[in-house]
Structure 1
Amino acid sequence: MNYRQLRDQLGQEDLQSSKMFEVLGQIAGHVNNKETHNQGRDLVIRALARRDLCGEFETRVLASLVRNVGLYPYLSPMLESVEDDDFLAYELHRPDGLDAVFHSLQARIYYQLRSGSNVVLSASTSVGKSLLIDAMVALGKFKKVVVVLPTLALIDETRKRLASKFRERCHLITHPTQVARSDKINVYVLTQERVRHRIDLSNIDFFVVDEFYKLDFRRDDDKQRAIELNLAFHQLATTGAQFYLLGPNVQSIKGLDKYEFHFIPSDYSTVAVDVVQFDLPSRGDDRPNKLAELAQLIEGSTLIYCQGPGSAVKVGRRLMRSVEPNNPESCAATAHWMADNYHPEWAAVAAVQHGIGLHHGGIPRALQQHMVRMFNDGSLKFLVCTSTLIEGVNTAAKNVIVYDRRRNKNVLDFFTYKNIQGRAGRMGTYFVGKVYMLEKPPVDDDVVVEYPIGEQSEETPLTLLLQLDDDELSDFSKSRVEDAIKNSFLSADTLRLNGSVPPDIQNRIAGIVYQKFKSGDVALVWSGFPKHFQLIAVCEIIVNELSGPRLNDLGISSGRQLAWHLSTLSQADGIPGYLAEIARGTLAHQVVSDRIDEALKVIRNVITFQFPRDLMVLDRIISEVANRLEMAGPNYSVYAEATENLFLPPAIAALEEYGIPVQIAKKLSAYLHEYDLDRTLDDLRALDLGKVENLSAFERTLVGSVQSAI
């Protein structure tokens, strides 16, 4: 039988156990043929899903096939039935110091890394690329390790995984306020921005960059984050440390010629995937109707990918009308808490009450983690998500429905589509994943990643080139940098310190500040916390010159509006009071829930991230202009730190990243150290929740789940 016939037969519900020996024999033919070996591996995985139909002899045959295709971890439940040589092969695939068994691709990479080689691995989501990080830590040969991850959600997942295995041996550093310890292996788990701001990474031994394709700024919606990742890689690689880059679906990489490395693109997979394609139009009722139909019929945990938060909310509401509520006690408790602490009209509240999770950029980080936890433990059957979940976070999803073929407003490229598709199935949990593509999928193409520092061209951003030394620049790039500095009002040092902002914008701001000072306007000169008119003055420049388009998308079109958000959030009642004010200001043609989502994105993307960065850019520009005019300059650092921490003590605000919502963290603050995060975590780990006043049952359960993972 050919591959398709065998696949269909293994998928039949009425497949008889008497047929399994014949089926396994046919699969062996594919496995032993070099040209069909990959299809044979896929069939072996599908046969594993039907292992309940195998008798003792068939199980031994299946185990032999599993070994032949290198899927050694799948031998674990069959060890009593395997032959001696199969058992020996299984044991030989154990890494040193780690309770795990590798499949053949992992073992190949492991021994290359262990020998000291640099490796760039491109393989599917299900392969278990991250387990190799754990294996390298387990060796104990590296005393200082850096893991660079694109999102805080991935930092949390990686931290939990490493903590569960190496809590006694390693000191895990995820936050800017933490410092290294001399008595343990120091493992830094950081975003690229946090790497760039650390001064203690000059003597590392080994580093990892996850989702390395983001080095190519053409492949990231946020070009500035791609630049930061390039500079972070450059900063770490110039130490001479060994590196391991990992990511999915890349056929080649350019620009790393100065480094010796093994590039390994692999189509190895540990799960099988069935794709069902519908080719429905993007407009009209066909897609919503098909979604409702699938939701009623589909079995198992299901991720539903949407292009953005607005689409995710619409899909969530459609599901609530189409499927019966699945609201175990955990869903009801979560929904009640969200209503009390955010807003009762927030769409995410009604969705969770119905047993449907939402995961997008408007959901606070701690709640995102809680949604994933509920999805993985089966409390939520459906998790409606955007790219915030797709990029790297592991979920126990049997099915994936790709509702939109777009990401924000752009059509998905084949690379991103394959990344989404890779979320279906999970090794050891769901052997066969299903992907339902409601629109026509993108055209297949090869993905080539370019490292811009090594492949400099006229397209290479000047903000990246300004951060490099002269000997790292091509002649053409050097002339671009020299021209930028020569024609700049501001010094080269200021241009470089404000590397996230193009020189022409920096100089335009300097001109505005110069004219204000010459006219006697000193509203921009303040320290500590500003008066309201001073806050408006800096906000006007930020809105008009720095982050206007990004802020406009969130309903902020003036400095006065931005200052209102900051001032309202700084009040004693914090997020609940701020959201209540947002709801009260909702106009007749607006939806309260949409305004809540927008406001939560303002908190996450602006108040705690972009605004403090922009404020320190202004601080440097204004300080230089003031110095030239022999005036006293500003000092915005105190207020920048306050906004970054939502006007809370830094260590308390940081608990959001560990899975504790800000509202609960404030209740715990009286029992924890407020300024040293490591001491805060020690206090939290040892805290007797029975002695904490004013915690609800839900809050005790949530904090308890975080305590066990610190």
Structure 2
Amino acid sequence: MDIFEECAAINELLQTDDGVEARNRLIRLLDSLGRENQAYNPLLNHLIRESGLYPYLEPETSSWQDRFVYESFKVDIGQDEPVTLHSEQSLVLKHLLDGDDLAVSAPTSFGKSLIIDAYIAIKKPTNVLILVPTIALTDETRRRLNKKFSGEYKIVTTSEVELGERNILIFPQERAIHYCDKLEQLDLLVVDEFYKASQAFDKERSPALLKAMLKLGEKAAQKYYLAPNIADLNDNPFTKGMTFLRMDFNTVFLEKHEEYKDINKNVQKKNDALLRILGKQETKSLIYAGTYSGVDSVTTLLVDNADKENSALLSGFSAWLAMNYHPNWKLTNLVKRGVGIHTGQLHRSLSQIQVRLFEEEKGGLQTLVSTSSIIEGVNTSAENVIVWSNKKGKLKLDDFTYRNIIGRGGRMFRHFVGNIYILEEPPIPAETQLELMFPDELLADVDDEKYKQELTKEQLAKLLHYKEEMSQLMGQESFERLRNEGMLISSDTELIATIAFAIKKNPRLVRGLANLYAPTNDYWVWTLCNVLKLVPGGWDAPYAKFAEFVRALSSNWNLTIPELLDQLSEQDVTIDEFFKMERNATFKLTALLNDVNVIQKEIVPVHKIDISPFIAKLSKAFLPSCVMELEEYGLPRMLAKRITASGLINFEDEKLDLHSAIKLLRELKPEIFAKTEGLDDFDRYVLDYFYEGIAIQ
């Protein structure tokens, strides 16, 4: 490639206002020069400046004017050295520093989170709350901000923790709702991936996210909402008064390889294509498999065909998985071949460990096979993205999600070009209009006077019927108190009415709740089955199987996971089902039991039944309180158990809260590495990763 000719072509595109094509050609040129280890000349640096990609400037070979721009766009982001922003990042930051409320749509490679860091470093706000879609993203965001701001801010990720003088709070939406009453005022509310507030994109989570946006938005002096690939935003009460900025500014180029045209839906050709693509790659690859069955198909193919890696780290990981989870689990075999699995069902610390291994330069995982959790759960990316499936669950991928997936290709400063291998026909390109509106599932929490204009006639009628029905079932005063104090987790009028009706009509159900704090768990199954039936089909397992799982889970601290699986052998609970059911038990079932408990105390107070202690234990998967929280920070339960058994920290102490536990872990770090019994090399690797995430700035 003749550099001067290519620069001339790029300059011509810039002169004709074709900035996107100019930027794409420029990025490809930078990639080519990087592979040949060539320095940039002043002309190339000038084109980088003209295209707004200021971080890519090489100041040593730039003219003084271009060097001036490189220095002028530097900002403090909480690190030792300031960082140069690109032109569009700088524009967004200026809006925020001016006090504007922003809803920003920008590509995955834009660097939206860097702007949050710059805002905190420059403005030094008292309270910032960042809403993220998953617990995995909670920890990833916490780790990033902990490195920069832990010396000045208390970083809060769990709803039990009290506020400090200055706070950065990072929550998924459900936790944020619980914490809302502790907050008097927020300087900035950030909602990451706010497109999930639309039922079109996340039917299950959108009501909780909308509820959090409403409640927290009222306390926020300023709002910053982020999403990728949105063309337009409808008028709605959730983003009222916010400026919508659509930024189509990419910092990497996506090179698409349309393999599906040759494959033509032939399964064998598709398998061969995947093995061929992986065989020629020396860099990391993300495989989007679409569904759990897709993940299973891809991983079976790789177990049968991929060679084992010569890596002591991965061999250690495989042995660690066999001992702590299950020797015959497919993942134990896969990781020896440099392949990991990322789905929403795995234990949190397992997902974190695999992403860490995937980001290792040498000796780590080369390939990660994923469902949509890779675009929802973490901010990782790779030089190669392979779209194995054009499905998301049972449905075909829409263009919005597809662009989100391929947006994981490439990474600033590491891979200018992301290679996208498309093995099934992609969706037809479409502009995404984001529609935010009140769903029926939010009606129980809506002030119908305040939002009368936003609700449909049908919703207003439904809300009136709900109020009348609930007032009859539990009395006007009790019902008003429940609404005003926000004691219910669900906002679904139909579910709340179903619970109230069941309690009123079935005294045995209420009396049966007492089984949940009896000395033995012999009668839990009957009670839990009756509670589970209130939400038919919502548990990914038959009622009895799920109830038996919860009963076995009560031994979670005393038994290992292999021992629990052995105990559940009659129910045929696999390791993958174990993860799924533990997640459903700690989130969905605890939320349902909370609402059952609150309503029964109002309708039949004479029984004096309160299952709050049981709900608290179940929400922690029957582990000591801070053990479950530390697992989110990257300390697996089996290591916490060994630290306790070695007499170093008593995690069973009910008075030990999360931040006290972290303080102890920091203070006792040398002893924990030296005196914890039975630590192998991989345990130490995991501990190192955990300690990185809690180090004080």
TM-score by length of 2: 0.90
Q: Is the 2:188–2:220 Cα contact (8 Å) retained in structure 1? A: no
SS at match of 1:343: coil
TM-superposed deviation, 1:600? 1.5
Bigger mean CA deviation after superposition, 344-353 or 697-706 = 697-706
Q: Are 2:305 and 1:322 equivalent residues in the alignment?
A: yes
Give 1:84's aligned residue. Answer: 64
Q: Are 2:169 and 1:188 equivalent residues in the alignment?
A: yes
Give 1:347's aligned residue. Answer: 330
Q: Are 2:676 and 1:698 equivalent residues in the alignment?
A: no
Bigger mean CA deviation after superposition, 676-685 or 497-506 = 497-506
What is the distance in 1 between the residues matched to 2:259 and 2:545? 45
What is the distance in 2 between the residues matched to 1:642 and 1:244? 35
Change (3 A) 1:463 1:121: closer
Give 1:432's aligned residue. Answer: 417
SS at match of 1:111: helix
SS at match of 1:148: strand
Give 1:645's aligned residue. Answer: 620
What is the distance in 1 between the residues matched to 2:489 and 2:266? 42
Bigger mean CA deviation after superposition, 416-425 or 531-540 = 531-540
Counting only pairs closer than 5 Å after superposition, residues 555-570 of structure 1 correspond to structure 2 as 556-558=541-543, 560-570=544-554
What is the distance in 2 between the residues matched to 1:365 and 1:96? 32
Change (3 A) 1:529 1:334: farther
What is the distance in 2 between the residues matched to 1:213 and 1:238? 20
TM-superposed deviation, 1:447? 1.1
Give 2:244's aligned residue. Answer: 263
Counting only pairs closer than 5 Å after superposition, residues 164-313 of structure 1 correspond to structure 2 as 164-182=147-165, 185-198=166-179, 199-222=181-204, 225-256=205-236, 259-279=240-260, 280=263, 284-313=267-296
What amino acid maps onto 2:638 in structure 1?
Q
What is the distance in 2 between the residues matched to 1:527 and 1:544? 17
What amino acid maps onto 2:559 in structure 1?
D
Q: What is the aligned residue count?
A: 663
Question: Paired residue for 2:392, among 407, 417, 437?
Answer: 407
- Residues 423-443 of structure 1 deviation map (CA, whole Å, 9 limit, x = unaligned): 000011000001111111011
TM-superposed deviation, 1:709? 1.8
- Residues 642-681 of structure 1 deviation map (CA, whole Å, 9 limit, x = unaligned): 1111212211211111112111122224534643111111
SS at match of 1:219: coil
SS at match of 1:197: helix
Give 1:512's aligned residue. Answer: 502
What is the distance in 1 between the residues matched to 2:256 and 2:678? 49
Give 2:660's aligned residue. Answer: 679
Change (3 A) 1:208 1:673: farther
What is the distance in 2 between the residues matched to 1:287 and 1:53? 30
Question: Paired residue for 2:599, among 605, 616, 621?
Answer: 621
Bigger mean CA deviation after superposition, 461-470 or 350-359 = 461-470
Change (3 A) 1:153 1:529: farther
Give 1:395's aligned residue. Answer: 380
What amino acid maps onto 1:261 in structure 2?
M
What is the distance in 2 between the residues matched to 1:533 and 1:690? 42
Give 1:485's aligned residue. Answer: 467
Change (3 A) 1:520 1:562: closer
Change (3 A) 1:327 1:472: farther
SS at match of 1:550: coil
Bigger mean CA deviation after superposition, 400-409 or 286-295 = 286-295
What amino acid maps onto 1:170 in structure 2?
Y
- Residues 165-193 of structure 1 deviation map (CA, whole Å, 9 limit, x = unaligned): 112111100111211112xx200011111
TM-score by length of 1: 0.89
Q: Which runs of 5+ in 1 are unaligned?
A: 1-14, 454-459, 587-591
What is the distance in 1 between the residues matched to 2:424 and 2:77? 46
TM-superposed deviation, 1:287? 2.1
TM-superposed deviation, 1:368? 0.5
Counting only pairs closer than 5 Å after superposition, residues 437-448 of structure 1 correspond to structure 2 as 437-448=422-433
What is the distance in 2 between the residues matched to 1:57 and 1:374? 32
TM-superposed deviation, 1:692? 2.3
Q: Are 2:643 and 1:668 equivalent residues in the alignment?
A: yes
Change (3 A) 1:215 1:38: same
TM-superposed deviation, 1:705? 1.6
TM-superposed deviation, 1:122? 0.2
Q: Is the 1:673–1:679 Cα contact (8 Å) retained in structure 2? A: no
What is the distance in 1 between the residues matched to 2:586 and 2:8? 60
Change (3 A) 1:412 1:693: same
SS at match of 1:384: strand
- Residues 143-183 of structure 1 deviation map (CA, whole Å, 9 limit, x = unaligned): 0000000011111111111111112111100111211112x
Change (3 A) 1:461 1:508: closer
TM-superposed deviation, 1:73? 0.9
Question: Paired residue for 2:358, among 347, 368, 375?
Answer: 375
Q: Is the 2:131–2:190 Cα contact (8 Å) retained in structure 1? A: yes
What is the distance in 2 between the residues matched to 1:55 and 1:602? 51
Bigger mean CA deviation after superposition, 467-476 or 369-378 = 467-476
Change (3 A) 1:466 1:221: closer
What is the distance in 2 between the residues matched to 1:247 and 1:271? 18
Give 1:29's aligned residue. Answer: 12
TM-superposed deviation, 1:501? 5.8
TM-superposed deviation, 1:32? 2.5
What is the distance in 2 between the residues matched to 1:599 and 1:283? 34
What amino acid maps onto 2:580 in structure 1?
K
What is the distance in 2 between the residues matched to 1:521 and 1:479? 31
What amino acid maps onto 2:528 in structure 1?
C
What is the distance in 2 between the residues matched to 1:167 and 1:673? 25
Change (3 A) 1:73 1:521: closer
What is the distance in 1 between the residues matched to 2:548 and 2:417? 51
Query: What RMSD over aligned residues (CA atoms) do the two structures have, in Å?
Result: 2.3
Question: Paired residue for 2:74, among 94, 106, 117?
Answer: 94
Q: Is the 2:207–2:441 Cα contact (8 Å) retained in structure 1? A: no
Give 1:542's aligned residue. Answer: 531
SS at match of 2:442: helix
Question: Paired residue for 2:28, among 46, 71, 96?
Answer: 46
What is the distance in 1 between the residues matched to 2:440 and 2:509? 36
Give 1:6's aligned residue. Answer: none
Question: Paired residue for 1:363, among 346, 353, 356?
Answer: 346
Change (3 A) 1:82 1:189: same
Counting only pairs closer than 5 Å after superposition, residues 84-163 of structure 1 correspond to structure 2 as 84-96=64-76, 98=78, 99-163=82-146
Give 1:457's aligned residue. Answer: none
What is the distance in 1 between the residues matched to 2:502 and 2:77? 60
What amino acid maps onto 2:561 in structure 1?
I
Give 1:59's aligned residue. Answer: 41
SS at match of 2:596: helix
- Residues 314-369 of structure 1 deviation map (CA, whole Å, 9 limit, x = unaligned): 21121233332224111111110000000011111110121111111332110101
Q: Are 2:589 and 1:611 equivalent residues in the alignment?
A: yes
TM-superposed deviation, 1:81? 0.9
SS at match of 1:217: coil
